[in-house]
Chains A and B, each alone.
Chain A
Amino acid sequence: MIKLTTLLFLLAVSTFATASEPASFETRVDMTSWSDGVAVFTEGRVKSYETFARSFMPYIMGSRKYENQDATFTYFDMMLRPEKYLGKDIIYVKHKGLRASIAAEIDNTDPITGQRLAGFMETGMISRELLQSTKVLSLLNRLRRDVRRFASPIEKIEGSIAVSDPRNMWASLRIIVPASGSMHEQWLTLDGTDNEQIIASWKKLAAAWRSGDPEVVNTELSTLSVLIPLLGAGTAIYPDAGKLRLESLYFKLGNLTWVWLIYLSSVVLLLMSFVYRFNTVGRIGMSLFILALLLHTTAVAWRWYVSGRFPNTNMFEAITTASWMGCVFATLMQLFLRNSALKYIFPLGAATAAMVAFLAVRLYPLELNPHISNKMPVLHDVWLYIHTNFIIFSYCLIFVAAVAASLYLIRRCIQKARGTDGTNDYARAGGIASLVEMRSGGRSTLNTNMGSVLDGATMILVEISFILLWSGIVMGAIWADHSWGRPWGWDPKEVFALNTFLIFVVLIHTRMKVKDKGMWTAILALVGCCVMLFNWIIINFTISGLHSYA
């Protein structure tokens, strides 16, 4: 446990730590004014340079950093001093099988190459030159034929090499607003301006960058970050400076995903208070939970403001928003049930869900990409907000139900080990009905023991998610009917949403008939959660379908 906690702590603080002392030029260059003040046009969006660089560099380096440099610095450096990166390990290869195949093709008799290849196997970072050697190119051409396994990773490698070309990076840096001021014209690179001050300042900047003069670089960056936005002055086309700063800050703060650590703390304390009935610990746990939820709410609202739309259009947003919904629900439940035996159980489950969600987006930034992009045309519909939110909210509640169910099963295992029978530990009235009993001031079965409390909480969550899921499926069908011309197409995602619902139908009917109601409810709630996760993970990432964008 101590080892695990230490590991988690290290993971949490790893982003704040600096691995090594970088060279002086890198540390003395201050990109802040440019990163926060200059807007870049890319793929139908205008974003701050900070955000742009952070979303661009993963195409080359994945989630890694080159010598711990900021993405904002590395972008400029690769563009202005490309020779520095010759032969350096800057391309990220994600596919581990492909890494092994590439490493096997490279002659590693030289100890330095051998060491680099060992590093490549571990980090996935390799140089363009090694990837472009005859043997590796020949290997990639061979492997490319295995379309399902290797075509996409090899395409990504080629894409990484192409975008790391300084000419490509220059062409992507569209920072000059069109002279017409029209919203419907593409922005231009610095080649597209005839403003002599900007050109002169850029020339000085580029020369100073190449010669490693941080003072001049900083001066010119500041000058340019004033001059360039002035080109868009008086038009609605250039984003507000405050919004650009906020956007940069949102990404600088790591999308606030470090909140998982506060959720973890609250999980530990809430679990202790729930199991041992430590009220003071419970209050501290709740305070941490509320703090985490406030930060979580800030993150959701911040993203909403920056992106200009409710955050539920990609996997990152679906996961973080779903867990936020679960936490808000849990807070409300805690508020209503603060004096009952059910207190702390909903925040505990929701905090676990939010913690897992934030950890997932931190650990898998490439799959759960946090960058903001335009919605696909099909997603521009009011049903995106209704159908998707119903579904993701139900999914979160299913997860929270699985947390309660797991605790129930753990308790039963402990009881079994102690030779106690827990068959009668279940909520007699069911889920919502138990709440009705409690609210009416009657004697609720939920007050009898912890087993019935856990079973009652599971049932409350199952009953609510049951209706939400079914309503979400129906609303999805209505949307599909006017979007794709048919309400139901047996797409894998549709089928597994239905499958999740079927499991809960089985749960409700099984509960009616079995003697050990609590245990079967818990088992089936866990199975339902597994099917839901299968739908969200395997169907999305492995078995493609029409819904693969979310």
Chain B
Amino acid sequence: MILPLVAMSFIDLFTTVWFGVLTLCSLFLYCSIGSAGVPVSVDIFEPNTWRSVRETMEMTEFEWFHWWPFKWLVATLCLNMSIVTIRRIPLNILTVGVWTIHTGIIVMVIGSVVYFGQKIEGDVLISRNRVVIKIPGEKEMSMVAAPENSVSVGQWTFTITNLNPNWELMSGDDVGKKVYAVSVSVQGPDTSFIRQLISGYPQYTEDIVATDDTSKPMARAIKTLGRALVDDSIVIRLTHDVKDRFFVTQSAAVYMREVFPENGGFGNWVELPIHNLPRFNDHIPSGEDFWNAGIDTRLSPLTLSLGTNGEPNRLQKDAIVTGYLRYAFPESRIVSGDELFPVVWITLRKGDESAQSVEMFAFNDSLNTADPSLMAYRWIEDDSELELMEKSLPPSIICTVHSMEYALPVTDNEEFDTIGDTEYAYRVLSVQNNLRISGMVVSLAQVEIKKGAKKWERWVFDNRSMNRDVIEGEQHNTTNVTFLDDAIQMKYSPGGAPITIVGGLEDGSYGLLTGLGDGEPEFQTLVIGQQVPITDEVSLTLDRAESRTASETKLTIVPKSQRDPAASNLYSMIKLVLTVPEGSDSAWLPYHQYPFKSESEAVHRFRYDPTLMQLPNGNTYQVLFSRRSEALPAPVVLDSFEIDSHVGGFTGRTSSVLNWRSLIRFLGDKEVVAAVSVNDPRRFGNYWFFQSQWDPPDGSSAGLNYTVLGVGNRFGVLQMLLGCCLTVTGMLWAFYVKPMIKRRRQQAVYEGKCA
């Protein structure tokens, strides 16, 4: 008795239009909150005003709109529409519009359930080529054709030095055609050359070798050796980069492989998916791993075990994810340690304005944050070294005349100074320190020498072999150096940094040695925290000094206000703990967009930085945090990547691009060739492939070495489209046809009455 009453009340409730309006309003609020968030201040034009409820609840847009409240709201609306339509709206010519609208919406919802219920979306990166190397007696090796990729085979090292996506063929049937060319530097035990490979034209493979001709240091082997290849037993060829899996959007997985230290080998990578990994909020198991724990964060450990893509395995059982960071990076800092590794922290100020702080290392100049030609930190064993340092601080020219050596000061005198009691005199025209010439860093003094009435200019380097006299009308030549007078020889000594901090003094204090003017170097004692003037404008403060230090690496969590929203999860990390009966090891793993199998599989712009984890039982693993993979319907390769451009051609900028086109081939039972471009996807099996990303040129690469294709299925789209069309038809009927029918009927009645 009660049940039918409840049922009737329920049906009556669902028969009211107000209930439908309420459901629509709820849907509106739900959609608004999920999409824009909620404002926390009145300044609605300020991005920080909009707080994302969805992200606080660890949901992507897809998840928010598949959460049960949304499903319930849509189901309630459909039920309400169905009941109202059936009970309240009799089907006739006038109401057919409303019936069609409501039917259309329900059909569309059914289509959406089918679509979103089976939706898989991801992407696959396909390089244009792989370089395959075979040396007699060695296993065949290969690497992806990407800038600076390198692989070693036996005693040989093969490095990709150049990739040219627009190499123009100079001969043959296809002369003038632009093709993809790869240059591989081959370094052997006693020979080296560059092998040039052209994609699709193996017959044009040839070697480039070094020559003795300084005007043309590299030449084709065919010209110098009489044959195209230096060593034809070394076979290098280009093949396609075959991809058979794609990586799912918004997914997570750990990839692990065992390392065999005894032979340097590796096991196979195993993919272990992570389900329900947070994406937006930090989860920290403990504060000790961070430099800035407690800022913008709170302790909130995870305990997520890993899944498998197939059979359960040992690695999966041993691993657990205990932490997640949305935006963090490892940072090394100097802390107190046991070993002598002196470091000072100083601040340079100009007047009252704030200036820069620098960190300087006595034993490793390359770590200094100051310009090493201007500032240095030196550690002395005893105070006698200080005197030597003072002497060697100013720049000088060591001159040898008739076996006698003279130390000549570097001054800006315009007059010539006589060199000792010799017939020579000199003046310094200019000095240039730390010049980069042919990959070397050198220092140069341009000196004018005078002997009697004869004057000439000599370039004096800190490397004596580079010295030369400047003779009018002669080209500089590295092989045939001529001296107008070789009785006088010189070497330039650039001296020490004009601002040198000295540590290790016997009394434990620190000093500042400055040689900024023409006069003698000055020494001042430095007291921590005390400002010392260097020039009239600039002063220096020794903030902190440590002699026994160590470098420690921890994570720095980027505060939320400093995070780039466009970076998404590229800077995310997880903490993985591997446990065995003997103990455990843990590590924070940085996110990888693609889990490349090795360094030589990685491509430009994408990280490959696996973490080594050593377990107490002696096992060692390489682990990598990336995305879950799914099988493609067939292996796919990239035959070519093309760009259509606007007027002026392709300039490297996106603004000059009209379209990107990937010419791909599916290697299924039957090969299928397809061109995928923007707005023109291609279907293979149950998946659609669409143009997603490209490899733009930059300072280090000519680009166009790979393509990224979006991959996704799309079931239920036709149902959704049918529903939409029904809805539009219904609207047209209800708003335009129905009034006309009604009016005609009224008119007929009116005319009938009149008659």
Q: Measuring CB to CB, which residues of chain A are less than 8 angstroms from any residue of chain B?
A: 41, 43-46, 133-135, 138, 145-149, 151, 182-187, 237, 373-374, 376-378, 380-381, 383, 429-433, 435-437, 440, 442, 463, 466-467, 470-471, 474, 477-479, 481-492, 495-496, 498-499, 502-503, 505-506, 509-510, 512-513, 534, 538-539, 541-544
Contacts and interface: CB of A to CB of B under 8 A. Distances in A.
A477 B649 CA distance: 32
Contacts, number: 216
Contacts of A381: 679
B181 interface: no
B44 interface: yes
Contacts of A149: 46-48, 561
A509 B645 contact: no
Nearest to B747: A440
Nearest to B709: A485
A94 to B, nearest CB: 13
Contact of B731 (A134, A467, A484): A467
Contacts of A483: 678-679, 681, 690
Interface in B128-165: none
Nearest to B25: A506
B753 to A, nearest CB: 14
B47 A148 contact: yes
A492 B50 CA distance: 13
> Which residue, of A376, A477, A481, A491, has the highest number of chain B Cβ atoms within 10 A?
A481
A481 B680 CA distance: 10
Interface stretch (B347-355, B472-480, B490-498): B347-355
Given A44-B651, A436-B742, A496-B35, 8 more contacts: A134-B355, A145-B562, A442-B746, A484-B690, A486-B714, A488-B112, A492-B35, A499-B35
A488 B712 CA distance: 13
Contacts of B65: 490
B688 A474 contact: no
A184 B645 contact: yes
B724 interface: yes
B528 interface: no
Given A146-B561, A442-B747, A512 B45 contact: no
A436 B740 contact: yes
B354 A135 contact: yes
Interface in B45-91: 45-50, 61-62, 64-65
B612 interface: no
Contacts of A437: 739, 743
Interface stretch (B272-280, B336-344, B539-547, B655-663): B655-663
B739 A498 contact: no
B724 A482 contact: no
Nearest to B32: A499
A499 B29 CA distance: 9
A94 B242 CA distance: 50
B721 A429 contact: no
Interface of B: 17-18, 20-21, 24-25, 27-28, 31-32, 34-37, 44-50, 61-62, 64-65, 112, 115, 119, 121, 350, 353-355, 559, 561-566, 645-651, 653-660, 678-681, 688, 690, 710-712, 714, 717, 720-721, 724-725, 727-728, 731-732, 735-736, 738-740, 742-743, 746-747
B353 A542 contact: no
Query: 9 closest A-B pairs (Cβ-Cβ)?
Result: A44-B646, A433-B739, A184-B649, A495-B35, A490-B61, A44-B656, A436-B739, A474-B724, A43-B655
B19 to A, nearest CB: 10
Contacts of A431: 735
B486 to A, nearest CB: 43
Nearest to A490: B61
> Which residue, of B679, B710, B728, has the highest number of chain A Cβ atoms within 10 A?
B679
A187 B648 contact: yes
> Which residue, of A149, A442, A474, A510, has the highest number of chain B Cβ atoms within 10 A?
A474
Nearest to B356: A138
Contacts of B681: 482-483, 485
A151 B35 contact: no
A134 B353 CA distance: 7
B655 A373 contact: yes
A509 B20 contact: yes
A380 B18 CA distance: 44
Contacts of B25: 506
A538 B18 contact: no
A543 B21 CA distance: 28
A496 B561 contact: no
A135 to B, nearest CB: 5
B28 A503 contact: yes
A512 B734 CA distance: 14
A467 B714 contact: no
B105 to A, nearest CB: 10
Contact of B688 (A184, A187, A378, A485): A485
A379 B679 CA distance: 8
Contacts of A145: 559, 561-562
A377 B660 contact: yes
Contacts of B711: 485
Contacts of A498: 31
Contacts of A542: 44-47, 49-50
A185 B739 CA distance: 61
A37 B24 CA distance: 59
Contacts of A185: 648-649
A43 B656 CA distance: 6
A535 to B, nearest CB: 9
25 contacts: A133-B353, A134-B355, A135-B353, A146-B562, A147-B563, A149-B46, A184-B650, A374-B646, A376-B654, A436-B740, A436-B742, A437-B743, A442-B743, A442-B747, A463-B735, A474-B728, A483-B678, A486-B712, A486-B714, A496-B32, A496-B35, A502-B31, A505-B24, A542-B44, A543-B50
A486 B724 contact: no
B125 to A, nearest CB: 16
A380 B679 contact: yes
B648 A41 contact: yes
Contacts of B27: 502
Given A432-B739, A433-B739, A184 B648 contact: yes
Contacts of A478: 721
A380 B28 contact: no
Contacts of B62: 489-490
B121 A485 contact: yes
Contacts of A463: 735
B350 to A, nearest CB: 6
A478 B738 CA distance: 29
A151 B740 CA distance: 59
B108 to A, nearest CB: 9
B61 A467 contact: no
A226 B711 CA distance: 54
Contacts of B725: 474
Contact of A513 (B18, B35, B738, B747): B18
A477 B47 CA distance: 27
Contacts of A539: 36
Contacts of A482: 679-681, 690
A308 B492 CA distance: 64
> Which residue, of A151, A496, A502, has the highest number of chain B Cβ atoms within 10 A?
A502
A430 to B, nearest CB: 7
A379 to B, nearest CB: 9
Contacts of B49: 542
B36 A485 contact: no
> Which residue, of A41, A147, A479, A484, has the highest number of chain B Cβ atoms within 10 A?
A147
Contact of A541 (B35, B45, B740, B743): B45
B21 A506 contact: yes
B724 A186 contact: no
Contacts of B21: 506, 509-510, 513
B661 to A, nearest CB: 10
A42 B651 CA distance: 10
A91 B637 CA distance: 50
A46 B648 CA distance: 9
Contact of A43 (B350, B653, B714): B653
